[in-house]
Structure 1
C-alpha cells in the first residue's frame, strides 16, 4: 500500500453551543482538507461536548446531535471524517463515532467500555456496546451499520478504540481489531488533564502501536469545556512502539489540526513539559475559557500576600500573557469581549491584567506589614488593580453584638475558632460587592490541603465563583511559587516566597503559622495520597509512612489521627466548595472525584488501633 496522509484534530467545545461547536468542527475539516489529509479523526463527543452531563439522558439532546451530524456530512467532500456524538436507541444512549466518507455516512462505531473512576460517571449516561455486535440504525430515512465494525480506505483497514476502550488492558477492543488485521487504529478521546498524565498516554500510544503492529492515532478534546475538567488537546501518532508525532498541549486556539503521512519516520514531536509548566498552562487556559464562556468581565481576588492568592494572581497574569502571545491582542480581546488597548500602551499584557484583575488586601489588627507589602508589590508587578482597607471596624461590630447577646466578652483562650472565623467571614461580603460591581468572577483561594482538613472558613476564604487551586496541594504550591519567580519572570513573588504560610487570624504575638496549626504540608500530602488517592486505612498509612518518613512513630501516629479526624468532620465544607479545576491526579471535590459521607463515625475504631501498636 502506498502511504496516505491522515489528520487528527482537537476542538474546544461547549455544551449547548450548537452553532459554535459545529463551526469549529467544520473549520477543522476544511483545514485538514487544505492540508490534503485523506482521513480526519475528531475527538470523542465532539458534536455535543463531553461535559453535557444529564443532557445525555434526555430524548431531545441526542436527537439534536444527530441533526448536527446531518450538517457536518455535506462538509466532508473529498475527505473521510470521524466525529463523536451520542446516539439514543430506544431507552439507551451510546457513545459513538460517525464515519463519513466523501460526504456520505458509512456508519457508526460504539464505545464498548465506560470510564467510571475519578472524575468519570459514564455509566450514568451511556450503555456499553457489546463486542462483535452490529445492528442497523435509521438516520435520515436510511439504515446504517452501528456497532463494532472496521472500515477501509485505499487498502488501509482502520478501526476505533474510543477513549476508555484503550485503557482496559487485555480485554480492550484493540486486540480484536488486530485479529481483523487493521493497519490503523484511531482513538478519539475526551481524556481529562492531570499533571503528568501525558506521560501515561505517551506509553499507552507507543505500546499500543507495538502490540497491535499498526499505526495508532490519538485525538483529544481541548479546553475547559464545562467548568471543571480541562482537556489538553493532545494529538499523537505511534507505530512499532515509537511515537512519530505529538503536538504541543493546552492551546488557546479554538481548534488544532495536525496531519501526518503514514510512514515510519519521526515528524514533529513536541516535548513533554515539566509539572510546574503544565500547571500554569492548564490553570491559565482554564481561567481563560471560564472567563469567556461565562461572559464575565474579569476577576476579583482577595489578595492576602500569602501563597494561595498569589498563585491565583500569577495564573491570571499568565493567562493574559499566553492569550496575547498565542492569539494576538486583537483576537484575545475579541474572545473575552474587551476593547483593544490604546495604541500608546507600552506593556500591553500589564495593561490588560489591570483591566481583568482587581485585587484587595483586607487587613485587621492581626495582619502584618509583611503580608501587606507582599500583596501590594505583587499586584503592582503584574499590573492588577490593588485596593486595601481595614475590616477591624466590622469585626468589632459583630463581636460586640454577640458579646451583648450572650452576656460575656469573647477571649482567645475560650473562643479561638470563633474569633478567627469572624475575621475571614467579614472579608467575604465586601469582596463580593466588588465582584458584583465589576460583573466579575470572584476567585476563591482554598487549596486541596486545606480542603483535606477543613483549614478554611466557610463563607470566608472559601467564598467565590470558582476555586482555581482547590485540587492542588499546598506543598506543591509553595514549590511552584519559587519556580514561577525564576522561570516565569515574576519578580513580584520575591516577598511572597520569603514568608511562612499563615492565616494571620490570631494576634501577631501568638506567631500563628499553618503548619503549627496542622502539621507539615509535606506530611499532609503523603497522608492524603494514601488515604484519598489510594483509599488506604489509617493502619496501612502508618505502616507505609514509618518506613518512608523520618518522623518519630508517636508523632506520625498523631499526624495520621489528626488528618482523619479533621477529614471526617469537614466533609460538609468540601460539599460547598466553589467549582474547582481538576488539575492533579486526584482531588477532594465530592462532585467530581471523591465522595464521603457528611456524617460518619470518623474512623474511631480504625484510629484506636494505632494506639495498640
Structure 2
C-alpha cells in the first residue's frame, strides 16, 4: 500500500488557494503510484486559523471547499484531508478538528481529533470540541482490505510508556489498537522548536514499535505568523525504524510503501542548531512578508551583529534586490561601524541609503531645551536618537510599501535593552528568539556554510564588542552582564521556568540573577508592544508567552 504524503505550505484562510495546492499535489502523488493521499492537519484552512474559527461562515465555507475538492478528485486516489467540521450536536464547542476521507467524489467518513492541546502556543480547547467517547471505531478507516488508524497530531503524542506520564486521561492509539490496525497515519501541524525533529522521530518510532505497525506522519511546512512548520514528514517500520523522511522547510510529495520497509527515501538534513535557525529564519521571513502582501523589506544597519544577521536573512529570503538597508549615523557612530555596514551591503548586493541624524538631534535638543533645563543628559537623549531612527525607517516603509524588519535579539528583548518606538519600530522581528550568543554563532555559520568563501558578514562586525553607540565609547556590557552569563540565566528562567533561587543554586551570582530577573519583569510592557517574531525555542516571547503586566510577581 503506497501512501502519498502531501507536505504543503498553506496560507491561513486561503481556502481556494489551499484546495488548488492540495489538488495539484494529489495528482502528482497519483502519477507516482499513490494508492491514497494524506495531508497535514487542517491543510485546507492552514494552521493555525485562530479566531477565524469563531466565524460560522468561515467554517461553512471550509466544508464546501472540502466537498468541492473531493469532487475534483473523483477519478483520482482517495484523500485523507485535514479540515474542520461544524459541530451539529448543539453541545460543546462549535467546531471539530477533523480528517475527511474523500473517495469517489464525496466525503465518505469523518475522523475527529481527540486530544486538544492548550499548552505553549496551542489553544485548541478555545475552538474545538474533542471527539466523543464510546465509539471504538471512531478513528478507524477500513478500506481496500486494510484497517488504518487515523490520528491527528496530538492524538499520537500521549503514549505513557514513552513519556512515563500521561498528559491526558485518554490515548487514542490505545483505542485504535483494539481494532488491530495494519497502519497508523497521523495528520499533523507541528511547529518547530530547535531539536524537535529528533524528538518527533524518537517518539513516533517508539509508538510504531510498540504497536508493531507502520506509522506515517504528515506535517505542514511554512511560516504562519510567529510559527515555523518544518515539514520533515516521515514514516516508520513496524519495528520503529525510520523508513522515510521528506525534506525540511520545503514543500514535497513523499510516497511511502508501508509494505516495503526498504523502499523509502530519507532526505538529508542538518540538525545543527545554527542550520535549523538559519532555515527557520529565512522561511519565516519569506512567508510572513509574502503572505502579508509584501515583496520588499527595509533594515536599519548599525554596523552591529544583529542588524547584519537580519540583513543577511532578508537578502536570502526575499532576494538582495528586494532589500534596502538604511544607515543613520549620529555623532557617536564610529567610522568603523559605517564602513562595516557599507561593506556588508556591498557583499550581499543590497542597496543603501545614508541618512545622518545629527541635524534632527540638534532640533530635538533645541525644542526640549526649556523643559530639560538644569538636567544632565541621560538615557532620555539616547532614546531620542533611537526614536529618530525609528521614525525615518517607518517613513520609508510607508512611502515605499516595504516591510520594516526590526533587528533586536532575544537577550535584548528579555531585559528591555531596546527602545520602544525606536529600534523596536517595525512589522516583523526576525531574530527576536535568538539570543546574543546565538546571533554571533549564526553569523559565523552563515559565513562558512551559506557564503562558502564569498564575502559575507565582515569579520570586524563579528569580533568587535557589541555597542548601541548612543554615547561616546558605549559598550553593551556597561549596562548588562557578559552575554554568555546573561544568556545562560535567561535560558534557565525563560525557557526552563527556573526561579531565582534555582538559578542561584545552579552557580550564578545572586546579585546578578536578581538584577536580570528584575529587568525581565520591568520589560514586560515593551514585549507586549513588540512586533511579531519567529519562534525557535520551546519558550519564546510570542503567542505562548502570557505574562501579566500590572502585577507584583516574584519568580
TM norm structure 2:
0.93
Distance 1:467 1:452 in 2: 14
The residue number in structure 2 matching 1:462 is 424
Residue 15 of structure 2: aligned partner: 18
Question: 1:212 and 1:61 mapped to 2: Cα distance?
Answer: 38
Task: List aligned pairs for 1:140-179, cutoff 5 A.
Answer: 148-170=138-160, 171-179=170-178
- Structure 1 residue 203 displacement after superposition: 0.8
Residue matched to 2:541 = 588
Per the TM alignment, residue 178 of structure 1 is displaced from its structure 2 partner at its CA by 1.8
> What SS is found at the alignment partner of 2:49?
helix
Structure 2 Cα separation of the partners of residues 65 and 504 of structure 1:
52
**Aligned positions of 1:187-266 closer than 5 A:** 187-225=186-224, 227-239=225-237, 240-251=239-250, 255-262=251-258, 263-265=260-262
Preserved CA contact (<8 Å) 1:428 1:460: yes
Residues 201-232 of structure 1: per-residue CA shift (max 9 Å, x gap): 1112211110111110011112113x221111
Deviation at 1:50, TM superposition (A): 1.4
SS of alignment partner, residue 488 of structure 1: helix
Equivalent residue of 2:484, what SS?
helix
Q: Give the CA deviation at 1:51.
A: 2.1
Q: Could you tell me whether the CA contact under 8 Å between 1:29 and 1:76 is conserved in 2? A: no
1:329 alignment partner in structure 2: none
Q: Does residue 575 of the first structure (1) align with residue 540 of the second (2)?
A: no
Partner SS, residue 403 of structure 1 = coil
Distance change in 2, residues 1:419/1:224 (3 Å): same
8 A Cα contact 1:306 1:496, kept in partner = yes
Give the C-alpha shift of residue 297 in structure 1. 3.2
Q: Which runs of 4+ in 1 moved over 4 A?
A: none
Note if 1:118 corresponds to 2:120.
yes
**C-alpha displacement of 1:76:** 4.0
| Corresponding residue for residue 100 of structure 1 | 102
Unaligned runs of 5+ in 2: 161-169
**1:60 alignment partner, SS class:** helix
Larger deviation, residues 385-394 vs 572-581 = 385-394
Q: Distance in 2 between the 1:25 and 1:558 partners?
A: 56
Which segment drifts farther, 525-534 or 155-164?
A: 525-534
Q: 1:363 aligns with which of 320, 329, 336?
A: 329
| Structure 2 equivalent of residue 484 of structure 1 | 446
RMSD: 1.7
**1:288, CA displacement in angstroms?**
1.6
3-state DSSP class of the match of 2:429?
A: coil
Question: Could you say which residue in structure 2 is the equivalent of 1:133?
Answer: 135
Q: Deviations over 1:379-401 (max 9, x none)?
A: 01011011213101111221222
Pairs within 5 Å for 1:354-393: 355-393=321-359
Structure 1 residues not aligned, in runs of 5+: 135-146, 321-351, 607-613
Does structure 1 retain, via aligned residues, the 8 Å contact 2:246–2:252? Answer: no
Q: Any idea what SS the aligned residue of 1:187 has?
A: strand
Greater shift, 95-104 or 438-447, is seen at 95-104
* Maintained 8 Å contact 2:4/2:26: no
Cα distance in 2, alignment partners of residues 48 and 77 from structure 1: 24
**Preserved CA contact (<8 Å) 2:382 2:470:** yes
In structure 2, relative to structure 1, the CA distance for the partners of 1:132 and 1:77 (3 Å cut) is farther
- Counterpart position of 1:500: 465
Q: Any idea what SS the aligned residue of 1:282 has?
A: helix
| Alignment partner, residue 290 of structure 1 | 288
Shift of 1:501: 1.1
Separation in 1, partners of 2:406, 2:372: 33
Instruction: Show CA shifts across 1:420-445 (max 9, x none).
Output: 11111111111112222221000011
Give the whole-Å Cα distance in 2 for the aligned partners of 1:281 and 1:88: 36
**Higher helix share goes to which structure?**
1
Q: CA deviation at 1:131?
A: 3.8
* Aligned positions of 1:425-436 closer than 5 A: 425-436=387-398
Distance 1:127 1:399 in 2: 59
8 Å CA contact 1:297, 1:438 repeated in 2:
no
Residue of structure 2 equivalent to 1:28:
25
Cα deviation for residue 492 of structure 1 reads 3.1
Q: In the aligned structure 2, how far is the partner of 1:498 from the partner of 1:450?
A: 19
Give me the whole-angstrom Cα distance separating, in 2, the residues matched to 1:109 and 1:475. 45
Which residue number corresponds to residue 551 of structure 2?
A: 600
Residue 175 of structure 1 and its aligned partner are, at CA, apart by 1.9
Give the TM-score taking structure 1 as reference length.
0.84
User: 1:572 offset after TM fit, Å?
Assistant: 0.4
Deviation of 1:104 after TM superposition, in Å, equals: 3.7
1:142 maps to: none
